[in-house]
Structure 1
Amino acid sequence: MPNDTVNDFNHQVIEEFRANRGRVGGYFEGARLILLTTTGARTGAEHTTPVAYLPDGADRILVIASAGGAPWHPAWYHNLLAHPEVTVESGAFTYRARAEVLKGEERDQVFARAVETDAGWSEYQRKAGRVIPVVALYEIAGGPPNINAGSMGEAIKVVHDAFRRELALIREAMSAVTEGGSPLGAQLRVNCLTFCHGLHNHHTGEDLGLFPFLADRHPEAAPAVARLREEHERIAALVEALRTALDTADPATARAEVERLTRELEAHLTYEEEQLLPLLDA
């Protein structure tokens, strides 16, 4: 594909991604996607590229420098080798990150996990005739997260929708596993555990920050806040049940726990939005 065509395609995806806070259609529909902004190795100018990613626990995400199976590394990879500090846009959040290229056995294990979820990575590797690099992106700590929203209420909705999208992807992958009779893959387990960790952090932040704020500013919301706290405890129990199911590596049990968590969480998110967003955006 000519460079001008690639640039036009990327520009369209970037605009759609930002307008819809991470949700895009077309070629990337249903994919886990970030916008990765790197500093040019030669020019020093910033370049933003849509890149697929893999969840990988609490501290990092992973990106693969496949270039669609081309025999050369993509430009963004050369840029981060020269300037490892990058910017990541996830749709809900924007943050600075440190890039680290994985080596040896760790790289091979991660790439094998990627192939397990999508055989297209293996085809890219075959076509490329090179070892396709895998890069870990570690968020650089520095204050509260930068949520892509214009108000507190909008921020809550943006984060909730990000959880909804990720859970939908997990449910889709879990259904494919159970219907096909395949074992529970390593990357799918990582996706579930990463989701569980993110949800725990979100609810902890609400318990310690948002709910006390509302108690001080809006005492009339006390009954709703009390209910939300109780729901956090029930959801935490469901998260632990899912973690236990993942340890058993039984796809049917894990899928059942994902469905239980989905039902409880969706009801919780909807109630929270109904009760709190009008107060936060007043």
Structure 2
Amino acid sequence: MTTGERVLDSPEGWVADHIQRYVATGGAEGHEWRPGVFTLLLTTRGRRSGKLRRTALIYGRDGDRYVVVASQGGDPRHPAWYLNLLDDPQVEVQVGAETFHAVARTADPAEKARLWPVMTAIWPAYDDYQARTDRDIPLVLLERG
């Protein structure tokens, strides 16, 4: 990711507000979104526009890796951020005050089987989201890189 480029935040109003508070406070506000539920900021490069796009996502951990869920609330389509990272897996991540470059990849079936319960323990609604869509909701692993 090139520094100094303008980053476009999620067009979803409440998500954009969350991101702006997160950035403005260095993660002091927004990292813990709800009690025990932590979020990170993920910046991807738009697969069509080439512009940097940022969203906030609930995350879990798998050792040194961060785990996020491409649920989009059970929508039948993958979220744009997921499609973007399939095209360009080089991403930027902010966790609290720390920002770093990472490489994103979709968890393989064995990893997903092991990590899905980790993520549903953090956010039980992921099971509901999977039940309301025919698509297999991907888990994404973010590794420093």
Alignment pair present for 1:93 and 2:98: yes
Tell me the residue number matched to 1:138: 143
**Superposition map of 1:267-282 within 5 A:** none
- Taking only aligned residues, the RMSD between alpha carbons, in angstroms, comes to 1.9
When residues 23 and 127 of structure 1 are mapped into structure 2, their CA distance, relative to the original with a 3 A threshold, is: farther
Task: Name the CA distance, whole Å, in 2 between partners of 1:19 and 1:11.
Answer: 12
Alignment pair present for 1:55 and 2:61: yes
Tell me the residue number matched to 2:115: 110
Task: Name the CA distance, whole Å, in 2 between partners of 1:105 and 1:95.
Answer: 27
Deviation at 1:8, TM superposition (A): 2.2
Alignment pair present for 1:65 and 2:76: no
Number of residues of Structure 1 aligned to a counterpart in Structure 2: 134
Provide the identity percentage: 35
The 8 Å contact of residues 71 and 128 in structure 1, kept in 2 or not, is answered as yes
**Structure with greater strand share of residues:** 2
Structure 1 runs of 4+ off > 4 angstroms? Answer: none
CA deviation digits over 1:25-58, x for unaligned, max 9? 6xx3332101100000111110000111101112
Task: Name the CA distance, whole Å, in 2 between partners of 1:123 and 1:93.
Answer: 32
Task: Name the CA distance, whole Å, in 2 between partners of 1:72 and 1:112.
Answer: 22
SS, match of residue 44 in structure 2:
strand
Deviation at 1:129, TM superposition (A): 2.2
In structure 1, what residue type is equivalent to 2:41? L
Tell me the residue number matched to 1:40: 46
Task: Name the CA distance, whole Å, in 2 between partners of 1:117 and 1:39.
Answer: 27
TM-score, normalised by the number of residues in structure 1: 0.45
Alignment pair present for 1:19 and 2:24: yes
Alignment pair present for 1:7 and 2:6: no
TM-score, normalised by the number of residues in structure 2: 0.84
The 8 Å contact of residues 84 and 98 in structure 1, kept in 2 or not, is answered as yes
Alignment pair present for 1:124 and 2:129: yes
SS, match of residue 50 in structure 1:
strand
Deviation at 1:19, TM superposition (A): 2.1
Task: Name the CA distance, whole Å, in 2 between partners of 1:51 and 1:71.
Answer: 18
The 8 Å contact of residues 107 and 134 in structure 1, kept in 2 or not, is answered as yes
In structure 2, what residue type is equivalent to 1:35? L
Task: Name the CA distance, whole Å, in 1 between partners of 2:111 and 2:40.
Answer: 22
**Structure with greater helix share of residues:** 1
Deviation at 1:100, TM superposition (A): 1.1
Relative contact order (alpha carbons < 8 A, sep ≥ 6): 1 or 2 greater?
2
Deviation at 1:62, TM superposition (A): 0.6
Q: Which 5+ residue runs of structure 1 have no aligned equivalent?
A: 141-282
The 8 Å contact of residues 97 and 138 in structure 1, kept in 2 or not, is answered as yes
Deviation at 1:68, TM superposition (A): 1.3
Q: Which 5+ residue runs of structure 2 have no aligned equivalent?
A: 1-9
SS, match of residue 26 in structure 2:
coil
The 8 Å contact of residues 22 and 33 in structure 1, kept in 2 or not, is answered as no
